[in-house]
Amino acid sequence: MGIKHFCLVGSGGVGTIASLVLTKSALARVTVVLRSKYNYVLEHGWEIDSVDHGKISRWKPYRVVRSAVEAATVKEVEYDYVVVATKALPSLNPVVKMISPVITPGKTTVVLIQNGIGIEQDIVKAYPGNVVMSSVSHIGSEVQEPNVVVQVGKDVSKTGPHLHGGVDDSRSMAKARSFVEMYIAGGAHTCELVSDIQTARWEKLLWNGAFNTVCALMRMDVGELQRSNGRETLLVPMIIVQWMAYRLPDDCAYRPSMLLDLENGRPMEVDVILGNALAKAREVGVETPVLSVVYNLLVLEEWKIGQRTAGKT
Amino acid sequence: MGIKHFCLVGSGGVGTIASLVLTKSALARVTVVLRSKYNYVLEHGWEIDSVDHGKISRWKPYRVVRSAVEAATVKEVEYDYVVVATKALPSLNPVVKMISPVITPGKTTVVLIQNGIGIEQDIVKAYPGNVVMSSVSHIGSEVQEPNVVVQVGKDVSKTGPHLHGGVDDSRSMAKARSFVEMYIAGGAHTCELVSDIQTARWEKLLWNGAFNTVCALMRMDVGELQRSNGRETLLVPMIIVQWMAYRLPDDCAYRPSMLLDLENGRPMEVDVILGNALAKAREVGVETPVLSVVYNLLVLEEWKIGQRTAGKT
């Protein structure tokens, strides 16, 4: 299998490790789109401290560029894969708009390493002849300013194609398999190819949709939420699979992503972690009394963040 | 009518103005229980800046004491009225325990100037032969440390007896009427005697149970909540009487009491403003999907405040 050409958008903790893994496979040539960090990383590279890959100083991918438009201009060939590892914020930052310059219709495979559900439809609609696939990642990795990537949680993921009518299932599966082979060759801890990625997405969502959302709303870590009786009054009624409410120990100091976003005044993944699931529940007639209230409260938190961002508060 | 002997517990913004009004009536001799402020107020009195009473410097009631026990010891006669103007925190600070030293069974009338509903039962149970009455106050008044009382909102209240089996209704009504006459004589803006005080209590609660609770949970003032669409997604579904959700203007910067308590790490009146109403709803079979979630979330906020107070977080 020859060298594949990748473009990666969203070089945070998750995306930078993905670009490292793909590069280490020696099967991929990765162009990374950087915005604010472009100048710094171009000069200094990344300082990586990884539970999977050890310490790597001044690491750079094959190429860094300032925008997807630049990534499209400088490319010597069309991209085989575009990897999206941004936060999933469909209304603020739609993926289609982000990647359109680097997509070759009918050719480029779109790989979404993102949270939540309902993230594929817009892409399939815009590029009905392209393979779309996604990863459910359990990596723990973050960027510390300006260029340090600290990966404390092993890179464990499930990856699979999002089958849709515009592409033969066998072709979608082949592209996903090829990606997984590269990802494993690059030294990721675990990357499992699955045929039904939506089940994996919902599995993660069952915990995330309850714990992540209530932790954010209450500014509490997982352990606090469990010790406070909030598990019994809120999480158990929210979670369909009850054992998930008891999976983590009561001294677990984990602060889920939406809590970190809220504390830092950043937009949260409310739509893909909760809004889309509630739309699905309405569609199939499932009552969601607690989740709906939590959703509406989080929308208010987003409104506040938006007001502050707009300098109105 | 002769001088009546009053003991007042809870000399905050509301209570201190009440002690002033009763004193100004020249029909009441008011002993005020002060804890932390005893020494300061004994020496300097209160500095009052009131929309109803103007500026009054170094004002003192008839007597200040350190505790209800001291109030009982120094009294020359039994108290005709005990006025409770504390925050209503039945589990942290039960009223019966607070006032028991100054109650003469069968004689002393208990006046509750407090928020919420379900605040009378414990007192009736402890003193079945005593008149219990309450005021629903719309005063805006607060204490600024150490001894300044700023009253910006007129002293408007409804007052009436809590009728119960241990006391003849006519006697309860007479004691309430007598209190209202004194309160009007003392120059309060408006004090209306009502025969059905529970209706007045529920009226205030209909707004308070929704706006006060969600403002606190969301750290938003009334106008922000209304402008954010939270009125439509949360308050309208919570409030039985819809026009109440549209009573105040969208630029209203009012920060309700529970929000101020939460911001200052003080216990909130969750039980009397929401918990007791939800218990009543369960009793009569009314569904409260949104209110119950908001209640459970506020209980978590209280847990956090308790943890901080206990120095555990």
Write the DSSP assignment of B85-136 as a string of letters.
-S---TTTS-HHHHHGGG--TTTPEEEEE--SSS-SHHHHHH-TTS-EEEEE
CA nearest to A270, candidates A84, A116, A141: A116
**Tokens 């039960």 belong to residue:** B94
pLDDT average, residue stretch A80-100: 97
Q: Which token pair is A8?
A: 């990666």
Taking the CB of residue A172, how many other CB atoms lie within 10 A of it?
A: 22
Q: For a pLDDT cut of 90, what percent of chain A falls above it?
A: 93
Residues of chain B with C-beta less than 8 angstroms from the C-beta of A224? 304, 307, 313
| Closest chain B residue to A225, measured at CA | B300
pLDDT score of A308: 87
pLDDT score of B77: 77
In this complex, the residue of B217, B234, B299 whose CB is nearest that of residue A233 is B299
Contact flag A304-B234 (C-beta cutoff 8 Å): no
pLDDT score of A274: 97
SS3 A263: helix
**d(CA B113, nearest CA chain A) in Å:** 31
Contact flag B293-A234 (C-beta cutoff 8 Å): yes
Residues of chain A with C-beta less than 8 angstroms from the C-beta of B233? 296, 299
Residue B312 predicted with pLDDT over 80: no
Long-range contacts of B70-74 (CB under 8 A, 24+ apart): B70/B33, B71/B7, B71/B31, B71/B33, B71/B101, B71/B102, B72/B101, B72/B102, B74/B31
Residue type for B235, please? Answer: L
pLDDT score of A312: 54
**d(CA B264, nearest CA chain A) in Å:** 16
Contact flag B297-A234 (C-beta cutoff 8 Å): yes
pLDDT band, residue A313 (cuts 50/70/90): very low
Residues of chain B with C-beta less than 8 angstroms from the C-beta of A218? 297, 300-301, 304
Give the Cα separation of B255 and B12 in Å (integer): 18
Q: How many helices, marked H, and strands, marked E, lie in chain A?
A: 15, 12
Q: How far is CA B263 from CA A168, A263, B197, B213, in A?
A: 57, 16, 31, 13
Higher pLDDT, B310 or A150: A150
**Burial of B262 (C-beta count, 10 Å sphere; 0-12/13-18/19+):** buried
* ipTM at complex level: 0.88
Quick: pLDDT tens for B173-192.
999 999 999 999 999 999 99
Give the Cα separation of A126 and A110 in Å (integer): 12
pLDDT average, residue stretch A288-304: 96
Residue B136 predicted with pLDDT over 90: yes
pLDDT score of B75: 64
pLDDT band, residue B313 (cuts 50/70/90): very low
Contact flag A218-B296 (C-beta cutoff 8 Å): no
Quick: pLDDT tens for B47-100.
999 999 999 999 999 999 999 999 999 867 799 999 999 999 999 999 999 999
Tell which of B292, B296, B304, B312 to mutate to test the A interface (max A CBs under 10 Å). Answer: B296
Residue type for B297, please? Answer: L
Query: How many Cβ pairs within 8 Å bridge chains A and B?
Result: 67
Give the Cα separation of A225 and A235 in Å (integer): 9
Chain B residues bordering chain A (beta-carbon distance below 8 Å)? 214, 217-220, 224-225, 228-230, 233-234, 289-290, 293-294, 296-297, 299-301, 303-304, 307, 313
Give the Cα separation of A144 and A12 in Å (integer): 9
Contact flag B297-A218 (C-beta cutoff 8 Å): yes
Quick: pLDDT tens for A6-41.
999 999 999 999 999 999 999 999 999 999 999 999
Contact flag A296-B224 (C-beta cutoff 8 Å): no
Q: How far is CA A27 from CA A3, A15, A19, A47, B149, in A?
A: 5, 17, 12, 23, 75
Average pLDDT, chain B: 95
Contact flag B303-A217 (C-beta cutoff 8 Å): no
pLDDT average, residue stretch B231-258: 92
Beta bridge partners of B31: B7, B63
B168, B66 contact by CB (below 8 A): no
Give the Cα separation of A216 and A291 in Å (integer): 13
Contact flag B297-A225 (C-beta cutoff 8 Å): no
